[in-house]
């Protein structure tokens, strides 16, 4: 199936925790399409060593620990990436999210604001941090592509998505704002993919996830987009076929975002 769409391209993949992770599937697809990769995750997430299997499957890709809320870690990551690649980076996948308030079970109306700071830092400001470090170090190649993952709770209310809705709204705003500046400076494009609910470690942390995922399935003419589908979409955005796409929030959800109601949902309501 591979078409070598990313032949000769070099990329950094953030956030492959286990084989359910969207980042894991994306790394495999990028490698299959001819890319050279560096994998990164928070030091604590690397402790289990699961990522070594992915590194091996991606041509012994180096694994470099980096906490996305730490400037020095991100600088070290880009320094080592450029040394390894012998030049700039063509693409970056930001597939990182974490909500401390969700984890601790705090309702949106009684958040712990220290936790909220941390959530916004890890899940949204981290994209700014990655872009700024790359911008200052001139670490991205011309026409490079940065993609982050988001969810439609940034635009519409999904009560149990809690503070992550605000984090995703900020993430999408940073995408537009930095996309402007990086586009002007070096034709680097920055986009978010707004993905269907997907069974992963982060996804399953959301309260009522089973109901959430089956509602979305019924509300999407094409059904929910899988993690593999998302990986394919990422490949297209890293490729030269999408060079003029930037500053966008791109829905990848089987049509969910533009569907008012479906027959299946009406039938369910009539029961």
What's the CA gap between 182 and 260, in Å, rounded? Answer: 36
Confirm whether residue 160 is marked as ligand binding.
no
CA distances from 242 to 6, 20, 23, 28, 253 (A): 12, 26, 20, 20, 19
Using CB under 6 A as the binding rule, whether residue 95 contacts ligand NAI is answered as: yes
Shortest reach from residue 23's CB to ligand NAI, in Å = 6
**Catalytic one of 161, 180, 182, 233:** 161
Among 201, 208, 222, 268, binds ligand NAI (CB under 6 A): 201
Query: Pattern of binders to ligand NAI over 4-43, x per CB under 6 A?
Result: -----------x-x---xxx-----------------xx-
Q: Per-residue x/- mask for ligand NAI, residues 139 to 158, rule CB under 6 A?
A: ----------xxx-------
91: left (phi over 0), alpha (psi -120 to 50) or beta: beta
Nearer to ligand NAI, 96 or 139 (CB): 96
Q: Which of the residues 50 through 69 are near ligand NAI (CB under 6 A)?
A: 67-69
Q: Known catalytic residues?
A: 151, 161
Binding site for ligand NAI (CB under 6 A): 15, 17, 21-23, 41-42, 45, 67-69, 95-98, 122, 149-151, 195, 197-198, 200-203
Indicate the annotated binding residues for NAD(+).
Answer: 15, 21-22, 67-68, 96, 168
């Amino acid at each position: 199936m591979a078409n070598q769409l990313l032949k000769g391209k070099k990329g950094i993949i953030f956030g492959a925790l286990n084989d359910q992770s969207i980042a894991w599937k994306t790394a495999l697809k990028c490698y299959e399409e001819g890319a050279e990769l560096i994998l990164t995750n928070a030091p604590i997430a690397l402790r289990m060593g699961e990522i070594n299997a992915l590194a091996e499957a991606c041509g012994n890709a180096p694994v470099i620990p980096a906490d996305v809320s730490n400037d020095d870690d991100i600088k070290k990551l880009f320094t080592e990436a450029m040394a390894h690649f012998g030049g700039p980076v063509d693409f970056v996948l930001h597939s990182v999210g974490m909500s401390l308030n969700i984890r601790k079970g705090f309702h949106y109306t009684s958040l712990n604001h220290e936790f909220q700071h941390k959530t916004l830092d890890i899940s949204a400001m981290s994209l700014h941090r990655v872009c700024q470090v790359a911008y200052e170090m001139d670490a991205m190649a011309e026409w490079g592509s940065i993609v982050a993952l988001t969810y439609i709770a940034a635009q519409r209310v999904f009560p149990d998505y809690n503070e992550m809705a605000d984090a995703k709204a900020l993430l999408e705003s940073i995408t537009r704002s930095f996309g402007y500046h990086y586009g002007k400076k070096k034709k680097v494009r920055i986009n978010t993919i707004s993905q269907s609910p997907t069974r992963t470690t982060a996804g399953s942390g959301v309260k009522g996830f089973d109901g959430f995922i089956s509602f979305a399935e019924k509300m999407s003419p094409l059904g929910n987009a899988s993690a593999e589908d998302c990986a394919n979409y990422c490949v297209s955005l890293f490729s030269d076929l999408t060079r003029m796409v930037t500053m966008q929030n791109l829905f990848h959800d089987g049509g969910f975002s533009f569907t008012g109601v479906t027959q299946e949902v009406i039938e369910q309501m009539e029961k």
